[in-house]
Chain A
Amino acid sequence: MSKDYNIVIVEDDTLSRFTLKKMIHQKDNMYISADFDNAEDCIKYITNNDVDLIIMDALLPNMNGIEASKTIKKINPNIKIIILTPETSEINIINTLFAHADGYFIRDFKQDNLQKIIFYTLSGHGGIDKRMQFSLFNYINKLPNKVYSEFTGTLTSNESTYITLTINGFSKSEIATYFDMPVANLYRFIYSILEKLQSKIGLENLYQEMKYDLC
């Protein structure tokens, strides 16, 4: 039984929210059941309603999308969450990646990709915008020596290879060919790397400190 996906949008910029709604309504197998301009209302809604996917802006008034994502996952871990961020600054990207969501994308994705993004996330493959992956690897590169060795020590050799191939500009299909797996499964590497990073809690604070000592 093919069902239409129930999607909720949380976005505080009116034009963006409206456009996103229209873009999704055009697609066949999905519809918007509700849209909100703040996180609190959305959280209230999902406690009483079934939702398949939430497309959430990272920046929201009061509670931001990152916190909201964590909260929602605690309430109902089955809801898939895509975080959209307009950010391209490294520190904000890293912060966003710690949101425990299923998909992370920068807001200026091409229209045609929207369907792909939603589809992948709903089928559990998720995805992280390549630019955000680069920011992540850059961040790892800048870790203090001790932490860096500790962290890279936890990576499997495949995960390290994945990072190396990515930062050397190989495309997804090339990397997938190298590992002899479908492109859709590549997300496993990046998620695993991300999870391992997230489990080292103190890192977020480390980054803040490092930023000032840079000069």
Chain B
Amino acid sequence: MTCVKTLAKHFLNHNKKGKYSACKNCRKCDFQIDTLLENIFNTTPDIITFMDTKFRYAMCSKEFLNLFGFESDNEIIGKTPFELLHYEQYTTVKTYLNLVIDERNPKTYIQKFYNPEGVEQIYESVSSPIINNDKVVGILTLSRNITETIYLRKSLEVSNAKLFALINNSPMLAYVIDKNGNFILGNARAKELFEKGTDITSTGEKIKFDIKSMHENILKENSEILKSGKEFNTERQIQAKNGEKYWYAINKSPLRNREGEYYAITTFARDIDTEKRIQEQRETYIATLSHDLKTPAIAQVRALELLLSGELGEFNNDQKEMLKLTLDSCNYMYDMVYTLLSTCKFESGEVTLNYSQFDITKLVLESIHEISKLAQDNSTLIKFEPNMQTCMINADRIEIKRVVINFLSNAINYAFPSTDINVSLSIKENNIILKVKNNSHYIEPEAMDRIFRKYVTHSEKFNKVGIGLGLYLSKKIIEAHNGTVIAQSSKDETNIFGFIIPAAPIIDLTSGKSKQKLQSP
């Protein structure tokens, strides 16, 4: 302040003389600008100017000089804004400066300049009156470049507008609600749901939900999310007032404020009812089809077995051979149907394992024997050296056998011609480990993932849906036994498929229950 007062005095003195020019006396008088102030004027990115009551510039910061391309303040001193600014700018500034003098109060306004590169700059200016002895002696103006801020704000507005347009026109519910369940903002569809409890499905069907219970459920779930701070995704059925249930895919994200507290939740909800119904229909269709095929398949097998037993009379050798092949074919078909049906059951979460205690070494030997013809046809030799003579385990014998045969037949089908297959069986820490190793092409990790998917065959060479489905089902079966599947491929062109399962899990009524207990809805 002291310095400015001195400044003012200095200029008053000059004004008295009627002239305003670089006065030689300035160099001589003991008027000294404070070093700190000089530093500020030289380094500040803001524009600071001091002018007298006739709007003549007396002092300015370096930035001001840069803006107009001046070298030193000698070029500025004595000039007025009129000489520096465009006419419109000048009139704006003049108005405000007059106000500052008249009202003796600081005024804020916007100025626009073109910098030396020709790019428009926007400045926010504050002009304050300098008062000495109750007289306004000059005006101090601080201007800050807010070009970038303005630009950012504008582009933010544009992106906001685009975002709103996107959300408002999207075919889903989108809204933000605070921790007390109050609707903060959202699209039109979300508003409808919140205020009236109604929604429209993608097929145009109107649904009405009970608002009260809906709010209660939402609040309950949201409070959990706000506590954990974690994103939440789910698909669920919601019951409407008419008793029907509709599927929605729901995504919720908690929002954090500056203090780090979770204060609101954004929710996106998409109606997936149609998708689910189609999926359900497809599954039901497959299940019904396989189911309908089962009866005739079993009947055929029974009838042929009865015929071949000789109880209804003997056949000649050709007739017997024909019947036997037909029986094999029917058994194969029945097996396919059974696999398909089992897969559907596993898919829908229905897993009933029938545990029994059996010797797994014996089971592996049986399986190798059953597959021997396939091995012969492919000139493959199966080698099996079990670690133990017998090994009793507790598992579902039929399903485990299915898995073993699946691994063996895959090993045979994909092996290089005339190569061996090695089967190993061991027990480690009460777990059974089975490995089937063959010589075949290296399988890339991404391909390995795909192999275990539901309707995929690894290679077009064996265009049998059954093979792909078999691996998927095998994985499900092993997982149902709380085991894991082994699938290792080496660049030396050997592949190992197998499983690890607990040898003798003990299930009792209570522990079995805690394993399978459903989550409460």
Contacts and interface: CB of A to CB of B under 8 A. Distances in A.
A167 B507 contact: yes
Interface string A1-44: 00000000000010110111011001000000000000000000
Interface string A173-206: 0000000000000000000000000000000000
Given A23-B306, A134-B353, A215 B513 contact: no
B311 interface: yes
A19 B300 CA distance: 9
A167 B357 CA distance: 10
Contacts of A87: 291
Contacts of B299: 13, 15-16, 19
A22 B506 CA distance: 43
Nearest to A145: B517
Contact of B518 (A19, A131, A214): A214
A16 B295 contact: yes
Interface stretch (A61-69, A74-82, A135-143): A135-143
B302 A19 contact: yes
A131 B506 contact: no
Is chain B's binding surface mostly helix, strand, loop or mixed?
Answer: mixed
A86 B298 contact: yes
Given A15-B303, A88-B341, A215 B237 contact: yes
A108 interface: yes
Contact of B352 (A18, A131, A145, A213): A131
Contacts of B345: 88-89
B236 interface: yes
Given A16-B302, A107-B295, A168 B506 contact: yes
B348 to A, nearest CB: 8
B296 A134 contact: no
Contact of B355 (A22, A23, A148, A168): A168
Interface of A is mostly: helix
Contacts of B243: none
Nearest to A135: B352
B356 A86 contact: no
Contact of B507 (A23, A142, A168): A168
A130 B354 contact: yes
Given A111-B306, A215-B235, A138 B357 contact: no
Interface in B328-347: 341, 345
Interface string B347-376: 001101111110000000000000000000
Interface residues of B, number: 41
A138 B509 CA distance: 10
A16 B306 CA distance: 12
B356 A169 contact: yes
Name the residue among B295, B349, B517 with the largest chain A CB count within 10 angstroms.
B295
A152 B513 CA distance: 12
A121 B345 CA distance: 30
Contact of A164 (B353, B509, B516): B509
A13 to B, nearest CB: 5
B204 interface: no
A105 to B, nearest CB: 12
A135 to B, nearest CB: 5
Contacts of B298: 16, 86, 107-108
B312 A22 contact: yes
A171 B357 contact: yes
B306 A134 contact: no
B116 interface: no
Give the interface centre of A13, A19, A22 by most chain B CB atoms within 10 Å. A19
B237 A212 contact: yes
A175 to B, nearest CB: 12
A167 B355 CA distance: 6
B103 interface: no
A141 to B, nearest CB: 5
B221 interface: no
B104 interface: no
Interface in B294-318: 294-296, 298-300, 302-303, 305-306, 309, 311-312
A107 B295 CA distance: 8
B521 interface: yes
B235 A86 contact: no
B311 A26 contact: yes
B508 interface: yes
Nearest to A160: B509
B352 A148 contact: no
Interface in B206-243: 235-237
B394 interface: yes
Give 4 nearest A-B pairs by CB, closest first: A169-B355, A15-B299, A16-B299, A169-B394
Interface of B: 235-237, 245, 287, 291, 294-296, 298-300, 302-303, 305-306, 309, 311-312, 341, 345, 349-350, 352-357, 394-395, 506-509, 512-513, 516-518, 521
9 contacts: A23-B306, A86-B294, A88-B345, A108-B298, A111-B306, A168-B394, A168-B508, A169-B356, A171-B356
Given A13-B296, A163-B509, 10 more contacts: A19-B306, A23-B302, A23-B306, A86-B294, A88-B352, A89-B350, A111-B306, A131-B354, A141-B513, A212-B237
